[in-house]
Structure 1
Amino acid sequence: MNIRGDHLTEREERILRCIRDSIAERGEAPSVREIGRSVGLSSPASVVYHLDQMEQLGVIRRTERRGAGKGIALG
């Protein structure tokens, strides 16, 4: 396990930008697949890993919501 303190990685910064842009433009968060396409991750599991890390840092919040809003909100 990599101990990284309370900083986002470069990829997580790009994911955060993708989420912010989507919320600003469409009024909802992108899907995991949309995030992956935006930041160059082909595996949804990789995106979920980064979202988990970001949630632990308090940068985003996730709910059980599925579908259009994807349950992602900014921290």
Structure 2
Amino acid sequence: MSTIASDTLTDRQRRIVACAREWIAEHGEAPSVRELGAAVGLTSSSSVAYHLRRLRERGLAVETRGRRSDRCPPCGQ
């Protein structure tokens, strides 16, 4: 993993990061939140968003595609 030790991540978080990287390598673009959830066995997009938020808080941003928000990417507001 990049700047954080992989042993500080949960199994599910490690799977999310790995699946996102594999998806990008295979498809040439980031997965949607739903696609990422399906790849790791989560049916709730809210659960995937929770894990993505926790990863971001730890300094590891996982890119996804989908609806654009009006939030500022660097600050989240």
Task: Answer whether TM exceeds 0.5 for this pair.
Answer: yes
Amino acid at match of 1:7: T
SS at match of 2:34: helix
Aligned length: 61
TM-score of the two chains, using structure 2 as the length reference:
0.68
Structure 1 residues 38 and 61: alpha-carbon distance in aligned structure 2, compared to 1, 3 A threshold? closer
Higher percent of residues as strand: 1
Question: 2:23–2:29: 8 Å Cα contact kept in structure 1?
Answer: yes
- Residues 17-74 of structure 1: CA distance to partner in whole angstroms, max 9, x if unpaired? 11100111112111110111111111100000000001111111559x745xxxxxxx
With normalisation by structure 1, the TM-score equals 0.70
Runs ≥4 in structure 1, deviation > 2 angstroms? Answer: none
Change over 3 Å in CA distance of 1:30–1:60 after alignment to 2 = same
Residue number in structure 2 paired with 1:43: 44
Q: What's the secondary structure of 1:55's corresponding residue?
A: helix
Between the aligned partners of 1:55 and 1:23, the Cα distance in structure 2 is 18
Greater RCO, 1 or 2 (C-alpha within 8 Å, sep 6+):
2
Counterpart of 1:9?
A: 10
Deviates more, 1:54-63 or 1:31-40: 54-63
Identity %: 52
Q: Unmatched 5+ residue regions in structure 1?
A: 1-5, 68-75
Amino acid at match of 1:53: R
